[in-house]
Structure 1
Amino acid sequence: MADYDAQPGREEPVEPSTAQREADDLDLLAGLRGVAELVADARTVPELLGDVAHFAAIAIPNVDGASTALLHAPFEVRAVTATADFVEVIDRVQYDELREGPCLTSMMSGRVAVSGSLGCDSRWPHFGGRVARMDVHSALSLPLIVGGEVIGAINTYAKARDAFGEHAVALGLQFAGSAAVSVYHAQLLSSARARTEQLQRALGNRAVIDQAIGIIRSRSGASAEQAFERLAQTSQRDNVKLVTLAERMVDEAVRRARARHRS
């Protein structure tokens, strides 16, 4: 039996037939295959999360809409994608307005959160009523966990009551496990790319600063240290970034050299 945070006082939904289970297993397999191929396609993190939400709606039975969210310290939640407009509204209500709901509970506890009648769920008295008035009554939130750490969540919703029973939870857990690894690897890849771009910019900035130092030295006979100090002092005095000042100096030197060449 799957371990999850069920709605207090609510009976477990009737489990699906054997035929329905087999059909659901095929959908889960399709979703898992889709997720397994995501990182290899070098998608950005938001693009990948959009695909995760899409495949979650396929892999988990009875889903009418799904979304993904990322968790940032200190417990800052950022909704990233949704497969339906009504889910985007639910996410805004949960994260930005009320700060309560199944996704937040799931990420705080690291456990699956399930509700079969949001309008009378005592865990989220404000959120549940708002969402029920949107004719959405069931929720299943699955934490994305890597190495024991929650990095985000998958949220699924259904308009029917008691849409997500133990079978849906079991399938959702299988999907979320694979999805978490894909999301984590995509984040690592994105971080590595950002760091590489940062280093490339730093190297480019250093090169133009060195050129400006060379120009100052050729004009004044100053040492490298003295030339850099002059450049830094001018940057502070004029309230201009060091690299911007260096670029201007190099551009001016190039213009003068071209003018002399033409004459």
Structure 2
Amino acid sequence: MSRELRLAEVFVELADTLVDDFDVLDLLHTLCERSVELLRADAAGLILADQHDVLQVMASTTEEARVLELFAVQNEEGPCLDCYSTGEQMANINLDEVQQRWPRFHIATAEFGYRSTHALPLRLRGQVIGVLNLFCAEHAVLSDADVKLGQALCDIATVGLLHERVVRQGEVLAEQLQGALNSRVLLEQAKGIQSERAGIGVDEAFTLMRAYARRTNQPLRTVAEAVIDGSIAADELKRPR
């Protein structure tokens, strides 16, 4: 498949969230995964502001990326924080520059083997609601075209959260994001439980839960709750359709 056709598929996939009751968590994880695929990064993480304007880690492609995101938020240090506060892209930040500007974040990033990082804002008409972070094991330089593509992916995902129909119906974005955050807490609990029960890593546990949610047409939150209360057995997640 050509890159152009793949890009078309991804944009349709992200735009398909513009329906009632779309799964916010699935949208955010899809954005991370497609950004890694199309921009040749090794990992991605995404943070969003909750109803109190506090940044929360919402999605990641690996456990390492999630830990780095948590570190940045908890220590209030890193390119993602600057990206969120300014609304400006922070691309092609190598670890030498990271070391000078964010020394503690530099140490944490280097420990996980990443040598460059990029941060792109989720924004619409001046409103910034979060940041997508990309981590690269090598000194990776994004071209202008790559940066524009990454921003376009962020923009269409932002529209999925802020589209005008939601505003016209009087729904509150903060409540939607808070609901996603609550679901994220349950999902982290379920990942740990499934990991322990099945003797697998947390990343594989999430992959199994997400695949199960998709093939059974259930929200991730519902599957997470079922894993936690034991109504979905550990081996059931591995069963084919």
Are 2:67 and 1:67 equivalent residues in the alignment?
no
Question: Where in structure 2 are the equivalents of 1:180-199 lying within 5 Å?
Answer: 180-185=158-163, 191=172
**Aligned equivalents of 1:114, 1:73: Cα separation in 2:** 27
Q: Which residue of 2 aligns with 1:112?
A: 89
Contact 2:31–2:153, Cα closer than 8 Å, also in 1: no
* Letter in structure 2 aligned against 1:183: L
After superposition, the Cα gap between the structure-2 partners of 1:180 and 1:171, relative to the gap in structure 1 and judged at 3 Å, is same
**Aligned equivalents of 2:159, 2:54: Cα separation in 1:** 20
Cα displacement (A) at 1:54: 2.2
* Letter in structure 2 aligned against 1:165: S
Cα distance per residue 1:136-168 (max 9 Å; x no partner): 112111111123110111111111113423332
* Letter in structure 1 aligned against 2:86: S
Are 2:78 and 1:101 equivalent residues in the alignment?
yes
Any idea what SS the aligned residue of 2:108 has? helix
TM-score, L = length of structure 2: 0.61
Question: Where in structure 2 are the equivalents of 1:182-221 lying within 5 Å?
Answer: 182-185=160-163, 191=172
* Letter in structure 1 aligned against 2:18: V
Any idea what SS the aligned residue of 1:167 has? helix
After superposition, the Cα gap between the structure-2 partners of 1:23 and 1:85, relative to the gap in structure 1 and judged at 3 Å, is farther
Q: Which residue of 1 aligns with 2:157?
A: 179
Are 2:125 and 1:147 equivalent residues in the alignment?
yes
Q: Which residue of 1 aligns with 2:233?
A: none
Runs of 4 or more, structure 1, over 6 Å off, are none
Q: Which runs of 5+ in 2 are unaligned?
A: 177-241
Q: Which residue of 1 aligns with 2:59?
A: 81
Note the aligned Cα RMSD (angstroms): 2.8
TM-score, L = length of structure 1: 0.57
Any idea what SS the aligned residue of 2:64 has? helix
Q: Which residue of 1 aligns with 2:24?
A: 45
Larger Rg: 1
**Aligned equivalents of 1:38, 1:145: Cα separation in 2:** 17
Cα distance per residue 1:105-129 (max 9 Å; x no partner): 1111101112442254222122022
* Letter in structure 1 aligned against 2:8: L
Count the aligned residue pairs: 171
Cα displacement (A) at 1:25: 4.6
Q: Which runs of 5+ in 1 are unaligned?
A: 1-21, 196-263
Cα distance per residue 1:140-198 (max 9 Å; x no partner): 11111123110111111111113423332121122222121012249768748x79xxx
Contact 1:118–1:137, Cα closer than 8 Å, also in 2: yes
